[in-house]
Amino acid sequence: MAERGTVPISRRNRVTAVLVALACVVVAGVGVKITDDLDTGEVVRTARVGEPAPYNGGTLTVTKVTPGTMITNDYSDNALTTGGMFLQLTVRIAAPDGPVATGASGGLELHSGDHIYRSFGDTVMSVTTGYVGTADLVFEVDPRHLDGAYVDFKKSEIIHVTPAVVRVRLGITKDNVAQWRASAKGRTLQPADLQEKPIP
């Protein structure tokens, strides 16, 4: 049984996701690799951290990945802790031509080997037309199975019958995974409140 205040790690289908947003500035340029997944029929656009990708009529960028073992906020004095690791992804979405949303109905998945971590509930980030917003998504993961991790943002694609995916590789490899684990120890993550800023 887990101690009070501790979130246990499970093998599959277990994730804590915290979705908040803060003001940001949109960046230009799109550099993604487009492939077809023959097993699922999905159209996959692969990007790295810092690379924007087309998403639901807007642009999506994972700008930063931060590891930690505790989460706190301004609304509670109690920190949420884990015996594993939290990965906080800072995600930026620009919505120049229409509202852009992500995260509903299983639209977010963090993959690492055979492990799949899904968002807690129907966590949704929705950006208003003409605005740009940034959100911190916090996933609880097993640090023993972390190298090669990536996040799939699933979306509807008008020109394709099957869903399309923006797949962002987090830059965690066999060569640096030990550094990620060490960096997470004792670090407290504090996601910010939702804000939006008009696109200049």
What CATH code is carried by the domain that includes residue 51? 2.60.40.1240
Whether residue 84 lies inside any domain: the answer is: yes
Whether residue 143 lies inside any domain: the answer is: yes
Instruction: Give residue 12's pLDDT.
Output: 34
What integer is the mean pLDDT of 119-138? 82
| 125 touches 101 (CB < 8 A) | yes
Whether residue 55 lies inside any domain: the answer is: yes
Q: Is the pLDDT of residue 182 over 80?
A: yes
Instruction: Give residue 1's pLDDT.
Output: 39
Whether residue 190 lies inside any domain: the answer is: no
| 30 touches 151 (CB < 8 A) | no
Question: Which domain covers residue 120, as residue numbers?
Answer: 6-182
What digits encode the pLDDT tens for the residues 59-79? 999 999 999 999 987 777 788
Q: Looking at the 3D structure of the chain, how many domains does it have?
A: 1
The amino acid present at 41, given as its one-letter code, is G
At which residue do the structure tokens 């199975």 appear? 145
Instruction: Give residue 200's pLDDT.
Output: 87
pLDDT over 90, % of the chain: 50
What integer is the mean pLDDT of 142-167? 79
Whether residue 199 lies inside any domain: the answer is: no
Whether residue 189 lies inside any domain: the answer is: no
Going by pLDDT thresholds of 50, 70 and 90, the confidence category of residue 160 is very low
**E strand or H helix at 7, and its extent?**
strand 6-7
Kindly tell me the number of DSSP H helices and DSSP E strands found in the chain: 1, 16
Whether residue 192 lies inside any domain: the answer is: no
The amino acid present at 146, given as its one-letter code, is L
Instruction: Name the residue with higher pLDDT: 134 or 11.
Output: 134
Instruction: Give residue 120's pLDDT.
Output: 59
Q: Is the pLDDT of residue 97 over 80?
A: yes
